[in-house]
Structure 1
Amino acid sequence: MGKLVINNHEEFEAHLGKVMGESEYHQITQEQINKFADATLDHQWIHTDPEKAKDGPFGTTIAHGYLTLSVMPYLWEQIAQFNNVKMLVNYGIDKLKFGQAVKVNSEIKLTATLKSLANLRGISKAEVEALLEIKGEKKPAFTATMIFLYHFE
């Protein structure tokens, strides 16, 4: 299935209650984990020290939970292209639950379902059910409801 193209609120509404799609897999590398650690000042050894992490609970380093959350916009853009948008606002996250750690070099992908859509005086408030899967694992990295505000022209 190709990327959805959405030009206005009405086209967006046609996907209500449906799976909008899934992203490609994205590999989480140690370099990405280290850069995220630098950006957030979170250098806990379980993320940044591969030698020490060998003896840790996962046998290797793991991505920060918030790193996996931070790649959401990148993965979401692979699923849907929104045209005629003046501005997009990441409005919030509901019911975020981390289900499983993402080990270094794991591949993750997003499956997105449009849970609700409201027209608030010309602004489309979308609640997207997000499932972040880890290739080869039964439990997801996380589930959440992402809330976006689309200001269509």
Structure 2
Amino acid sequence: MTDFADFDALRAAVGAEIGVSDWLTVDQQRIDLFADATDDHQWIHVDEQRAATGPYGRTIAHGFLTLSLLVPLTSRIMTVSCASAAINYGLNKVRFITPVPAGGRIRARLTLDAVTDVPGGVQAERTVTLELEGADRPACVAESIARYLA
């Protein structure tokens, strides 16, 4: 875990890989709960019998479930303790490259790309690569923007 005690330390880390999270299992229960929360019950996510004969041989996580896991995974990599609040400002680019099968494990690799001043704090642009254990290609790559307020 890397903690940035001030914004200057955060600025100094631009261009560096900040770290890699621990692995997180994306089990069927999490997939089903996400389906309930978003009302997206497509069979490829929730019907284990039908998905067993589908293109991936089992159910897969929703792409947006995979994306939503950026928040808990990146918070295990870095904190900005000098900030009074951290806000997810948005995303510049997201690609879902490899489906995450039920029971698959993912982890985040975070690189700090830019830090710019904004009213009341700083904005950090980060590349987050969600790696899928055992896969040659990542599950997801996202350009994530966070704002840290003083």
TM-score (norm 1): 0.95
Q: Deviations over 1:19-55 (max 9, x none)?
A: 0001000000000000000000000010001011001
Structure 2 CA distance, aligned partners of 1:121 and 1:87? 13
Structure 2, gaps ≥5 residues long: none
Which amino acid in structure 2 is aligned with residue 10 of structure 1? Answer: D
Query: Partner of 1:52: helix, strand, or coil?
Result: helix
CA contact (8 A) 1:9 1:119 kept: no
Structure 1 CA distance, aligned partners of 2:119 and 2:90? 19
1:23 to 16, 21, 24: 21
After TM superposition, the structure 1 = structure 2 runs for residues 11-90 of structure 1, keeping only pairs within 5 Å, are 11-90=9-88
Match of residue 110 from structure 1: 108
CA contact (8 A) 2:126 2:143 kept: yes
Structure 1, gaps ≥5 residues long: none
Query: Partner of 1:85: helix, strand, or coil?
Result: coil
Structure 1 CA distance, aligned partners of 2:138 and 2:3? 27
Percent of aligned positions that are identical: 35
Aligned length: 150
Which amino acid in structure 1 is aligned with residue 3 of structure 2? Answer: V
Structure 1 CA distance, aligned partners of 2:74 and 2:105? 16
What CA RMSD, in Å, does the superposition of the two structures yield over aligned residues? 0.9
Which amino acid in structure 2 is aligned with residue 128 of structure 1? Answer: R
